[in-house]
A and B are shown apart, each in its own frame.
Chain A
């Protein structure tokens, strides 16, 4: 009987220890030692004892805390950020955060709150951000007003709030963001808005509330940073309600899933009665579109007409001299000239991306935009056999040009002569036809960033990158080199100022030892996703303090003479290589462990060989490659036998020699 009992005890012990292990599995993730912890989705019913008292940032969402009270978080007095999203909290009792003087952000989103005590939020000295989204609030009196003097943002979205009238003693003087998304607010009265009188530069969000009426003058006195009435059915209500208001930005866009009335020119007359700098009308239909539509837009600095079903803008719009930024993404233009750019002579930023039809650039369509600094023409199916001087005529101040994700472009020498001040040029995923020995980017004296990824370039053209004296950042990923090799003389030799070079996914097999010799300033080299082996590392021997990405290559061994090259770099990524963990690579393996602080992606840096170590992290490999004890034993025995044999031979020879004496 006795053995059975002891066995049972043993089993109990075993299962107990296993429980400990499973609970360890369920532990919070340390994101920053002693400071930041993530305990999401663990079904916890209390703060785990393993969390240190010094925790400042705690992500505790999707756990189970029906009641929170004074002692719930009392140990973690340094908390500054506490996320309690969807913890099924019903009750927040008195003085729950009494000891948390540093708490500045509290997230209570998605909790079925029944009651918050009057002193529930007392304690924090600088509570700045409070999230009460989807907590079932129908009345603003629900929020305890004590200790909200420092509140900067209050998120009240997805509740059942129908009136935004705050209680009299609610402190609003520091409020900057007030978010009422997706509530049931249908009417805004003067009295409602007066309760926010003390707030300055407020951003108010009424998106997803069907506003049916605004009392005239409700928005009169105060200056707003931004007002959002997204998805409102009838914009006339908004325009007439905002008379005499002043706001930086006004968001009046619509959505795929909301019904709205067409915007008529007469509706937009309301804009004359208010002061707005930036307006967004995305996804609306315009019932009529003439030059008079814009008569009240004269003070506008930014206009966003994304996806507004436009096939052109009317000519002869007058008075839009201060418009700086125009967004015409996702419309139906055929020709770039149809936007009648001359209407907007002061434009500095123009965005026309994702046009629904193939966009033809035409000739000189933007030539009146002398001040244009940024132009985005990406995702437009643009095709041109001779780009881009005719198309970008007279854009002499252009600094940033995006032509990525288009159809093939043919580039001649000095293809961007019309925009000599370009600093950023993005041509990613646009096939480029450049005949050797042409140099399309010649004379771009200020170009710093050039994205040529997946451009199907002819890399044997030595002059391709000629004439770029200030280029710092070259993204060349996805282009192919002849025979998968970067030879000694190559197109990179003309860009000696490069600091960041990306050559990933170029199907490279090898790089000549001298290939990067003229590139002495590089601080970031990405050679990942190629088929490089150790012999290409030699090409980096002149670089120091560089970030070096060699992930996803074919590196098996790294011979000892290359270890100094790696040692002199600041960060190295060797993950996803078929690394050898046998004694033939032991010097590298030792180096790896000594330089762990330099290595990135150590989780994915695993052995591929021998089979017994496949998948084991390099940092966990223990190899002893000295001679084994058995080997030493046999060697000694062997030497011993040899000596004996030698003695016998000598004795035999001596005996023969002196036999006759």
Chain B
């Protein structure tokens, strides 16, 4: 009987994914920029894939019209693409914002209209407002999604201003 228990124990330990584990581990946390008293870290919250992002000239006095570099594989057509931003600090919500990036009647960026499966690399301006970031740690949830609410990208970002 002891042998049985032992075998069973070993089996439950080594059997892949059968013990109700949560499956895939989380994507690594990346550094988007660290400069001028500002640090921006992000992690993809799309279970299917990671993506790459870096920001030029980041600083506590965030300039308007920042340039970014962004690389991803599209899982959906992006004829219509929207961005949701949810900013929180110390657990309380500061800002919720929704912004259309690609619309049928106004494709703002040259990548609008590209198709599922395409690999995208964007290096260019993001048309943001300039803002001074007060000292502190902020959590930002960024979501890119299509008209059918299908996720294109999802990021959990942490902004540390010191």
Determine the residue in chain B with the shortest Cβ distance to A40.
B75
A338→B31 CA distance, assembly (Å) = 48
In the complex, the answer to whether B1 meets A3 with C-beta atoms within 8 Å is: yes
Taking a contact as CB atoms closer than 8 A, the residue among A15, A131, A283 that contacts B11 in the complex is A15
Given A11-B8, A15-B18, A329-B106: A158 in contact with B114 (beta carbons within 8 A): yes
In the complex, the answer to whether A110 meets B118 with C-beta atoms within 8 Å is: yes
A61→B11 CA distance, assembly (Å) = 34
Question: Number of residues in A with C-beta < 8 Å to the partner?
Answer: 45
In the complex, the answer to whether B105 meets A329 with C-beta atoms within 8 Å is: yes
**B37 neighbours in A (Cβ, 8 Å):** none
Q: Which residues of A contact B (CB under 8 A)?
A: 3-4, 7-8, 10-11, 14-15, 18, 21-22, 41, 61-62, 85-86, 107, 109-110, 131, 133-134, 155, 157-158, 181-182, 207-208, 230-231, 253, 255-258, 282-283, 304, 306-307, 327, 329-330, 351
Taking a contact as CB atoms closer than 8 A, the residue among B105, B110, B116 that contacts A109 in the complex is B116
A256→B110 CA distance, assembly (Å) = 8
In the complex, the answer to whether A231 meets B110 with C-beta atoms within 8 Å is: yes
In the complex, the answer to whether B127 meets A86 with C-beta atoms within 8 Å is: no
Taking a contact as CB atoms closer than 8 A, the residue among A18, A62, A158 that contacts B15 in the complex is A18
**A3 neighbours in B (Cβ, 8 Å):** 1, 3-4
Task: Pull 14 A–B residue pairs with CB atoms less than 8 Å apart, ordered by A.
Answer: A7-B3, A8-B7, A11-B11, A14-B11, A41-B48, A85-B116, A110-B119, A134-B118, A255-B109, A256-B108, A257-B110, A257-B122, A257-B125, A306-B106
In the complex, the answer to whether B8 meets A230 with C-beta atoms within 8 Å is: no
Determine the residue in chain B with the shortest Cβ distance to A8.
B7
Given A133-B115, A256-B124, A256-B127: A230 in contact with B4 (beta carbons within 8 A): no
- Asked if B73 is an interface residue, CB under 8 A from chain A, the answer is yes
Beyond the given A7-B7, A22-B18, please list 12 additional residue pairs across the A-B interface where CB-CB is below 8 A. A4-B7, A11-B11, A15-B15, A18-B15, A18-B18, A134-B118, A255-B108, A255-B110, A256-B124, A256-B127, A257-B125, A351-B105
Considering the complex, which residues of chain B in the window 98-121 have a beta carbon less than 8 Å from any beta carbon of chain A? 105-110, 112-119
A134→B109 CA distance, assembly (Å) = 19
Shortest distance between the CB of A409 and any CB in chain B (Å): 23
**B48 neighbours in A (Cβ, 8 Å):** 41, 62
Q: Which residues of B contact A (CB under 8 A)?
A: 1, 3-4, 7-8, 11, 15, 17-18, 48, 73, 75, 105-110, 112-119, 122, 124-125, 127
Determine the residue in chain A with the shortest Cβ distance to B116.
A85
Shortest distance between the CB of B83 and any CB in chain A (Å): 13
In the complex, the answer to whether A330 meets B106 with C-beta atoms within 8 Å is: yes
Given A3-B3, A18-B15: A253 in contact with B118 (beta carbons within 8 A): no
What's the A-B contact tally at a CB cutoff of 8 Å? 96
Determine the residue in chain B with the shortest Cβ distance to A111.
B117
Shortest distance between the CB of B106 and any CB in chain A (Å): 5
A85→B119 CA distance, assembly (Å) = 11
Determine the residue in chain A with the shortest Cβ distance to B74.
A110
A230→B113 CA distance, assembly (Å) = 12
A502→B107 CA distance, assembly (Å) = 32
**A10 neighbours in B (Cβ, 8 Å):** 4, 7
A61→B150 CA distance, assembly (Å) = 15
A541→B106 CA distance, assembly (Å) = 47
Main secondary structure of the interface of B (DSSP, over half): loop
A116→B48 CA distance, assembly (Å) = 29
Determine the residue in chain B with the shortest Cβ distance to A131.
B115
Main secondary structure of the interface of A (DSSP, over half): loop
Determine the residue in chain B with the shortest Cβ distance to A14.
B11
Determine the residue in chain B with the shortest Cβ distance to A231.
B110
Top 5 A-B residue pairs of the complex, sorted by shortest distance between their CB atoms: A110-B117, A85-B117, A257-B124, A7-B4, A4-B3
**B17 neighbours in A (Cβ, 8 Å):** 22
Taking a contact as CB atoms closer than 8 A, the residue among A7, A15, A258 that contacts B110 in the complex is A258
Most B Cβ at <10 Å: residue of A86, A257, A282: A257
**A304 neighbours in B (Cβ, 8 Å):** 105
Determine the residue in chain B with the shortest Cβ distance to A251.
B107
In the complex, the answer to whether A133 meets B117 with C-beta atoms within 8 Å is: yes
In the complex, the answer to whether A109 meets B11 with C-beta atoms within 8 Å is: no
**B127 neighbours in A (Cβ, 8 Å):** 256
**B3 neighbours in A (Cβ, 8 Å):** 3-4, 7-8
A258→B112 CA distance, assembly (Å) = 13
A450→B4 CA distance, assembly (Å) = 72
Given A18-B18, A253-B107, A257-B124: A11 in contact with B7 (beta carbons within 8 A): yes
A125→B109 CA distance, assembly (Å) = 39
A15→B112 CA distance, assembly (Å) = 48
**A85 neighbours in B (Cβ, 8 Å):** 116-117
A627→B109 CA distance, assembly (Å) = 69
In the complex, the answer to whether B117 meets A4 with C-beta atoms within 8 Å is: no
In the complex, the answer to whether B4 meets A134 with C-beta atoms within 8 Å is: no
In the complex, the answer to whether B125 meets A255 with C-beta atoms within 8 Å is: no
Determine the residue in chain A with the shortest Cβ distance to B3.
A4
Determine the residue in chain B with the shortest Cβ distance to A351.
B105
**A257 neighbours in B (Cβ, 8 Å):** 109-110, 122, 124-125
A290→B105 CA distance, assembly (Å) = 26
A329→B107 CA distance, assembly (Å) = 13
In the complex, the answer to whether B118 meets A158 with C-beta atoms within 8 Å is: yes
Taking a contact as CB atoms closer than 8 A, the residue among A14, A134, A351 that contacts B117 in the complex is A134
**A62 neighbours in B (Cβ, 8 Å):** 48, 75, 117
Determine the residue in chain B with the shortest Cβ distance to A258.
B110
**B108 neighbours in A (Cβ, 8 Å):** 255-256, 283
A605→B125 CA distance, assembly (Å) = 46
Determine the residue in chain A with the shortest Cβ distance to B106.
A306
**A18 neighbours in B (Cβ, 8 Å):** 15, 18
Shortest distance between the CB of B84 and any CB in chain A (Å): 17
A606→B106 CA distance, assembly (Å) = 42
Shortest distance between the CB of B23 and any CB in chain A (Å): 10
A62→B118 CA distance, assembly (Å) = 12
Taking a contact as CB atoms closer than 8 A, the residue among B1, B105, B116, B117 that contacts A327 in the complex is B105
Shortest distance between the CB of B74 and any CB in chain A (Å): 9
Shortest distance between the CB of A551 and any CB in chain B (Å): 17
Taking a contact as CB atoms closer than 8 A, the residue among B4, B105, B113, B116 that contacts A207 in the complex is B113
A131→B122 CA distance, assembly (Å) = 22
Determine the residue in chain A with the shortest Cβ distance to B100.
A354
